[in-house]
Amino acid sequence: MKKRFSVFVSVFMSLIFAVVVVVAATGSPKKDPAEKIVQPEGVLDMYSGREGDTLAFTFTRQASVNTVELKETTGVITRFEIGTFEGETVYVSDYIGEYRYCSFPAVTTKGLYLKITEAEDAFEIASMEVSFVTQTASDDFKVMAYVTADSACKMDDSWKENAKTVTQFNIIGCLFFDINGRILFDGYDEAGLTDGEEVFERALANLKKLNPEAEIVATILGNRDLTGDGITESEDRYNKVIGNDGSRSAFINEIVEFAYGYDLDGVSFDYEYPHSLSSFVNYNAFLQELKQALGDKRLTAALSLWNIGIFNVNSDTLRVLDGVELMSYDSFDERGNHSTFLKAYNDVTQAIQRGADPKVLNLGLPYYSRPVNKDAYWGSYKHVADKLGYGDNLITETYVIDGETRTQPNYYNGRQTIYDKTCYALDSGIGGVMIWHFACDSTDPDLSLTAAVQRAIDSRS
C-alpha cells in the first residue's frame, strides 16, 4: 500500500535552530513559528521487500537533501545504498536496525531511492525521513582529541592538516599520581623516551607547533604504581588520595600548581572505574572542589554512560565540568559490531536524560577497531585506511593474543560512520566530538577520519 509523506522545513531534534527540509514517511512536522515550513507532498512506493529490492521516494517538486533517518522493523538489512533519481549514489553503508542517521553532501533531486543490497531475510522499513540540514555548526563546536604523549613527541608536519581541525588536545599517558597526591611523570622505555617530564614537555611544545590555536589540557591518571606503594587498582588509589579532606586538598593544590606552572588550558581525568557508592561520593566531592580551585582553567572528565546518574557522577558534578568526554565505544551490539551509530545515539540521548548539559557533552569517536568475538585486541585505523572502503566498517585482521595468532572480522568506524556521527553531534546540539585517539588516524587527506569530521562540520556551516 502506498503511503503519503511530506517535505517540510522545521526545527531539527528540538535541540537546535536550523533550516531543515524533511521528507517524512511517518509523523508530522515539528512546527515552530520562528521557522519557515514547506510541505509539498510525495509518494513512497513500498516499505518491505527482499535483498536486491529498491524503494523509491518521489518528491512532488525538486528539493535539496543531505540527511536520511531510517528505522527498520526487522533488523536484517546488512548493506544498503541511497541515491538520487538522476543516478548519483550518495550513501553506502551496512546496518540500519532500530535507527540509522545517514548524512552526505547536499544534492538537489526529484527523489531518492533506497536500495537494499544485502539482507538476511525479508525486510521491513518502519520509517524514513529525508532532510536538508544547514547552520548547525556553531563556532564553539568542539573537536577534542586525546593524543598519547609518546605519539605527540613524534608527530611531524604531515599531521598539521589533521591538527587544524582539533580545537582541544588532551595529552594522556605520562602523568600519574601517588598515594600522597603528588603528580609524577613516566616515560616510554620501549620507545626510547625514558624521561617522563621531558616527554610531556616535548609533547606540549609539538602540539602547540602543530596547531597554535588549539587548547591543551592534560589527563592525570591513577592506574600505575610508580613508587612501589603496592596499590595497582585505580579505585583504591583514588579513594586513598581523595577519600579524606586533608589529602584531597593537598592533591587539588598540586593539580592547580601544575596546571598554572605549565600554562595549560585545563586538566582532565579518566577514572576507570569507580564502582562503589563511597567511591562516587569521593569522586564527586573531588571534582567539584577542584573546579572551584582551578578558576579559569578547564576541568573535563571521560565518562561512560553507566558512570552518569544520581548515584554515580551526579548532576551537581556534571554542572561544574567544562567537558564530558562520552566514551561511546568498547561496547558491542548483538552481532559483535563495535561502537555502532545506534550506540552513539542511545548514549547521547540517555546522558542528557541523566543530567548532562548537552553543550559540554562530546561524543566519543573511536579511531580503532574491536574484533566481533570481543577479543582483547584494538586495531589502529591507520593500518587499514587504504583497505577500508569509504562506507565500510568491517575488515578481517590478523593479530596475536598470548602467543596465539588469530584472524577475525574487526569492526571500525569508517569515514562514513565518522561523518554520520559528527553530523549527528552537530544537529543534536551537543558540545562536540571526542577522538580516541588522534595518532590512530591516517595523514592521507583522502583517507583521514579527522578530515571526515571536518567535512561534516563544513557541510553544516
Of 134, 164, 187, the residue at which a domain comes to its end is 134
Say how far apart CA 337 and CA 249 lie, in whole Å.
43
Euclidean distance between the first and final Cα of the chain, in Å? 39
Q: Band of the pLDDT at 192, cuts 50, 70, 90?
A: confident
Say how far apart CA 457 and CA 143 lie, in whole Å.
10
| Residue 419, C-alpha cell as written in the block | 561523518
Residues 253 and 331 in one domain: yes
Domain hosting residue 70, numbered range: 3-134
Pick from 23, 57, 26: nearest CA to 127 = 26
pLDDT at residue 39 above 80? no
Residues 269 and 389 in one domain: yes
Q: Band of the pLDDT at 18, cuts 50, 70, 90?
A: very low
Q: What is the pLDDT of residues 345-404, one digit of tens each?
A: 999 999 999 999 999 999 999 999 999 999 999 999 999 999 999 999 999 999 999 999
8 A C-beta contact, residue 274 and residue 318: no
Give, in degrees to the nearest 5, the angle at Cα 248 between 247 and 252.
115
Q: What is the pLDDT of residues 263-281, one digit of tens each?
A: 999 999 999 999 999 999 9
Residues 123 and 151 in one domain: no
Average pLDDT value for residue range 416-442: 98
* pTM across the whole model: 0.92
Residues 117 and 240 in one domain: no
8 A C-beta contact, residue 10 and residue 20: yes
8 A C-beta contact, residue 131 and residue 21: yes
Residues 370 and 349 in one domain: yes
Give me the helices (H) in 184-311, please.
196-210, 234-242, 245-261, 277-294
pLDDT at residue 52 above 70? yes
Of 102, 134, 166, the residue at which a domain comes to its end is 134
Residues 158 and 57 in one domain: no
Residues 295 and 320 in one domain: yes
Residues 126 and 161 in one domain: no
pLDDT at residue 326 above 80? yes
8 A C-beta contact, residue 398 and residue 406: yes
Pick from 81, 83, 75, 89: nearest CA to 119 = 75
Burial of 97 (0-12, 13-18, 19+ CB in 10 A): buried
Residues 356 and 420 in one domain: yes
Question: What is the CATH number for 217?
Answer: 3.20.20.80
Paired sense of beta strands 168-172 and 215-219, if any = parallel
Pick from 440, 96, 19: nearest CA to 9 = 19
DSSP string, 387-438: TS-TT--EEEEEEEETTEEEEEEEE---HHHHHHHHHHHHHHT-SEEEEE-G
Q: What is the pLDDT of residue 106?
A: 94
Q: How far is CA 385 from CA 135, 327, 329, 411, in A?
A: 30, 23, 19, 13
Question: What is the CATH number for 18?
Answer: 2.60.120.260
Q: What is the pLDDT of residues 205-257, one digit of tens each?
A: 999 999 999 999 999 999 999 999 999 999 999 999 999 999 999 999 999 99
Residues 42 and 125 in one domain: yes
Q: How many domains is the chain built from?
A: 2
Strand partners, 67: 103, 131
Q: Is 250 left (phi over 0), alpha (psi -120 to 50) or beta?
A: alpha
Q: What is the pLDDT of residue 116?
A: 98
Q: What is the pLDDT of residue 42?
A: 61
Task: Report the range of poorest mean pLDDT among 30-39, 140-149, 294-303, 368-377.
Answer: 30-39
SS3 228: coil
Of 134, 165, 183, the residue at which a domain comes to its end is 134
Q: What is the pLDDT of residue 74?
A: 96
Residues 308 and 385 in one domain: yes
Instruction: Give the count of alpha carbons within 13 A of 449, CB side only.
Output: 33
Residues 27 and 107 in one domain: yes
